[in-house]
Amino acid sequence: MEHTISVTAQAERKVTDTKSVPFGKVPTEHMFMAEYKNGQWHHAQVVPFHDLTLSPLTLCLHYGQTVFEGMKAFSMEDGSINVFRMDKHYDRFNKSLHRMCMPPVPEKLFINAIKELVSLDADWVPKDADGSLYIRPFMIATEDRIGVKVSDEYLFMVVCSPAFQYYTKPLRVKIETTFVRSAAGGTGAAKCGGNYGGAFYPTSLAREAGYDQVLWTDSVHNEFIEESGTMNAMFVIDNVLITPELSGTILDGVTRDSLLAIAREKGINVEVRQISYNELIDAFEAGRQVEAFGAGTAAVVAPIATIAIGHKEYNCYTEPDALMFRLQKELYDIRRGIVPDTHGWNNII
Ligand SMILES: Cc1ncc(COP(=O)(O)O)c(C=O)c1O
């Protein structure tokens, strides 16, 4: 099937001075949309950003068939624009769709939609070293019918928004042992809306108690670390980078994967395995140096300053020479073309 994308451009909205706006609050001038009906994709188009009209019967409003991705475009040193690891985001998008019983998006449609949209709104890609254009592909079930069923119709869209630093200071997190985010056989590895909706309540309790985020633990023992908010959890104990394995209950993060590849390349010892909060307690109490951080597209590397385990708080190492910042710098430099991209991660458009 040909995926011709029609483009209706407008040039009414000026690029906002986006540094002061909260993450995800200001959309760029255009958006992409394509409709799935009768087993086929139709009307692939880039159009001026506008509101949607949906029937109150629309299935996604009731039964949660919604899937999204989050990726970024960067201004390179030479002025070109780089969309980072489009293929890995595409793979994950389709895996999430499969889990949610939604039809796949053809690769050409996904890639061309992003290329067309980002090229048209290129002026919105911040030039600053700490800025990027956040790209949000998503798909929703659009059949109008209130009965519980798999939708026969969908809308695939892409919207963008300029982004700067996500967290402004190191995080205080709490090990969560009451609520769980996901369980074996569930939807934890899919980027579907319900996973986030279900996380809000425990996270709001943690906020009330003075923490920024929770560190989820496994659903069986409530002991092994899973992930945090919209980030994978990573630790450095005595210079060994440790992160939980992809057991099916956490997201296969692109940032996690990139940082692991960079660390291995640099000869850093990497252990992808279960890590329990008891192991963290032992490390803290033995006076070992522990770094902890969240890895994700939005925040990149979010250093964790404090981990609360039960009623006790432990301090992590967040000095500028920490390994996490060295890994982060390498990732920044690859994405902006300052050091060579030996992995084929950059997509210059
Ligand atoms: C639950 C969850 N875990 C981890 C991540 C990190 O993934 P990535 O590095 O691909 O952004 C995200 C963000 O997408 C997320 O939502």
CA nearest neighbour of 73 among 58, 92, 86: 86
Q: Report CA(96)–ligand 1 centroid distance (Å).
A: 13
14 — pLDDT class (breaks 50, 70, 90): low
**pLDDT for position 22:** 82
Cα three-residue angle 228-218-23, rounded to 5 degrees = 15
Is residue 116 within 6 Å of ligand 1 at its C-beta? no
DSSP, collapsed to helix, strand or coil, labels residue 334 as helix
**pLDDT for position 8:** 78
The span from the CA of 132 to the CA of 134, in Å, is: 6
**pLDDT for position 16:** 67
**pLDDT for position 15:** 67
| pLDDT of 96 strictly over 60 | yes
Is residue 243 within 6 Å of ligand 1 at its C-beta? no
Domains of the chain: 6-164 (3.30.470.10), 171-335 (3.20.10.10)
**Which structure tokens are listed for 208?**
């009330």
Task: Return the amino acid letter for 29.
Answer: E
Write the residue with the smallest CA distance to atom 7 of ligand 1: 253
User: Which atom of ligand 1 is closest in space to residue 255's alpha carbon?
Assistant: 9
Q: Report CA(35)–ligand 1 centroid distance (Å).
A: 26
Integer CA distances (angstroms), 185 to 42, 221, 250, in order: 33, 16, 11
The span from the CA of 154 to the CA of 35, in Å, is: 6
What is the pLDDT of the chain when averaged over all its residues?
Answer: 94
Q: Are the C-beta atoms of 213 and 203 separated by less than 8 Å?
A: yes
Residues whose CB falls within 8 Å of the CB of residue 104, separated by 6 or more in sequence, listed in order: 94, 97, 98
| pLDDT of 21 strictly over 80 | no
**pLDDT for position 217:** 98
Is residue 303 within 6 Å of ligand 1 at its C-beta? no
User: Which atom of ligand 1 is closest in space to residue 70's alpha carbon?
Assistant: 14
Exposure of 157 in the CB half-sphere (CA atoms within 13 A): 16
**pLDDT for position 308:** 98
| pLDDT of 343 strictly over 80 | yes
**pLDDT for position 13:** 65
Integer CA distances (angstroms), 152 to 47, 95, 100, 147, in order: 24, 18, 13, 12
24 — pLDDT class (breaks 50, 70, 90): confident
DSSP, collapsed to helix, strand or coil, labels residue 122 as helix
| pLDDT of 114 strictly over 60 | yes
Q: Report CA(166)–ligand 1 centroid distance (Å).
A: 13
Q: Which helix (H) or strand (E) holds 328?
A: helix 323-335
| pLDDT of 2 strictly over 60 | no
Q: Are the C-beta atoms of 326 and 258 separated by less than 8 Å?
A: no
Count of beta carbons in the 10 Å neighbourhood of residue 81:
17
| pLDDT of 4 strictly over 90 | no
3 — pLDDT class (breaks 50, 70, 90): low
Average pLDDT of the segment spanning 309-332: 96
Percent of the chain having pLDDT more than 90? 88
Is residue 182 within 6 Å of ligand 1 at its C-beta? no
**pLDDT for position 178:** 97
Count of beta carbons in the 10 Å neighbourhood of residue 19:
12
Percent of the chain having pLDDT more than 70? 97
Q: Which pTM was predicted?
A: 0.95
**pLDDT for position 167:** 79
Pocket test for ligand 1, best of 232, 260, 293, 328 (most atoms within 8 A of CB): 232
Q: Report CA(57)–ligand 1 centroid distance (Å).
A: 30
| pLDDT of 128 strictly over 90 | no
pLDDT tens digits, 215-272? 999 999 999 999 998 999 999 999 999 999 999 999 999 999 999 999 999 999 999 9
Is residue 227 within 6 Å of ligand 1 at its C-beta? yes
| pLDDT of 1 strictly over 60 | no
